[in-house]
C-alpha cells in the first residue's frame, strides 16, 4: 500500500486516508491505485462492513496533481478511474468524510462515494473549466442527475465552489459537522455496520443500479439482488433478535 494512502480498521469500518497534505491531497496515480486496492480489501474481508474515505491535514482532495499531469501522468486506476473510485464502486458502502476542499476530481471522488459527511466550512466545486479542462471524472455527468439542470449548469460552467451548508440544502451532502468530518462519518458508518451485512450489500446495489431499470421490469431486475436474502441465516437472526428484544448477531450468510 502506498504511503500516499493510509488504511486502518476501526469497529468493522475500513478508514482510507489520502495522505498528501503538503499538496492538499492532490491525486496521483499511485494514490488512485492504493485507494482501489483498499476498496478490493473492503469487499474481500467479511468483517469489514463499510468504508470511510477522507483526507489528511484538513483537506479532502484538491483534484488531480497538476505537476504529475504535466509529466504525462493521469491519476487513475485502470478499473476505478480517477482516485480509483469514480468509474467503479465496491459492493459495500463508502462514506466520504470531507474537510476543507473537495475540488475538481476531489468533488467527483466525493460524489462517487455513497454518502457524504462534510465539515461545515468545507467547499465543493469543479473548477476544471477555469483551467481549460473538463470535469471528465463524472462531475459534468453526475451534477445534472443530482440537481436541477440550471443549478448543475451554473456549477459546471462557472467553476465556482459552494459551501457545505448550501450543499446540504441541495441534497448533495448527508450531514455536516462542526468538528472533523470523520467524527460524523464514523457515527454514520456505525449505524450502517449495525445492520445485516448481506442486506446492506443488496440494498446498495439496488439503490445504485435501479435508476436504469424500466418501471415495468423493476421486479425482474431486483430479484437477483435479493433472492438469497430472505432465506439467509441473517434474515432469521434479525427476526429472532427482534422477537427476543436483543441486538442481532450477524454471520454474513
CATH number of the domain enclosing 170: 3.90.226.10
Residues 77 and 99 grouped into a single domain = yes
Catalytic residue numbers?
108, 128
Residues 159, 218 share a domain: no
Whole-model pTM? 0.92
Helix intervals (H) in 72-196: 105-112, 139-146, 149-158, 164-169, 181-193
DSSP state, residue 88: -
Claim to verify: residue 173 and residue 237 sit in the same structural domain = no
Please indicate, yes or no, whether residues 237 and 220 belong to a single structural domain of this protein: yes
The count of domains in the chain is 2
Count the Cβ atoms, other than its own, within 10 Å of residue 120: 13
Domain with 218 in it: what CATH number? 1.10.12
Secondary structure element (H or E) that encloses residue 116, with its range: strand 115-119
C-alpha cell at position 198: 448481506
- Assess if residue 252 is contained within a domain: no
pLDDT tens, 199-224? 999 999 999 988 888 888 888 888 88
Q: Which domain holds residue 146?
A: 5-193
Tell whether 187 and 203 lie within a shared domain: no
Residues 102 and 223 in one domain: no
For the stretch 6-54, pLDDT in tens is 999 999 999 999 999 999 999 999 999 999 999 999 999 999 999 999 9
Amino acid at each position: 500500500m502506498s504511503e500516499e494512502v493510509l488504511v486502518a480498521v476501526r469497529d468493522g469500518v475500513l478508514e482510507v486516508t489520502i495522505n498528501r497534505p503538503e499538496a492538499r491531497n492532490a491525486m496521483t496515480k499511485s494514490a488512485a491505485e492504493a485507494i482501489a486496492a483498499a476498496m478490493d480489501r473492503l469487499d474481500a474481508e467479511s468483517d469489514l462492513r463499510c468504508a470511510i474515505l477522507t483526507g489528511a491535514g484538513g483537506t479532502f482532495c484538491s483534484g488531480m496533481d497538476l505537476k504529475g499531469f504535466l509529466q504525462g501522468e493521469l491519476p487513475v486506476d485502470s478499473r476505478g478511474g480517477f482516485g480509483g473510485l469514480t468509474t467503479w464502486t465496491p459492493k459495500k458502502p463508502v462514506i466520504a468524510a470531507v474537510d476543507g476542499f473537495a475540488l475538481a476530481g476531489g468533488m467527483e471522488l466525493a460524489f462517487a462515494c455513497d454518502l457524504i459527511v462534510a465539515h461545515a466550512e468545507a467547499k465543493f466545486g469543479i473548477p476544471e473549466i477555469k483551467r481549460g479542462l473538463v470535469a471528465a471524472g463524472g462531475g459534468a455527468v453526475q451534477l445534472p442527475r443530482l440537481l436541477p439542470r440550471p443549478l448543475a449548469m451554473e456549477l459546471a460552467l462557472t467553476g465556482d465552489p459552494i459551501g457545505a451548508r448550501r450543499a446540504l440544502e441541495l441534497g448533495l451532502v448527508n450531514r455536516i459537522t462542526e468538528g472533523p468530518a470523520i467524527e460524523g462519518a464514523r457515527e454514520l458508518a456505525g449505524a450502517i455496520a449495525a445492520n445485516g451485512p448481506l442486506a446492506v450489500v443488496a440494498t446498495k446495489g439496488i439503490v445504485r443500479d435501479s435508476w436504469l431499470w424500466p418501471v415495468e421490469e423493476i421486479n425482474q431486475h431486483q430479484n437477483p439482488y435479493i433472492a438469497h436474502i430472505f432465506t439467509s441465516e441473517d434474515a432469521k437472526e434479525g427476526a429472532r433478535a427482534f422477537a427476543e428484544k436483543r441486538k442481532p448477531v450477524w454471520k454474513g450468510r
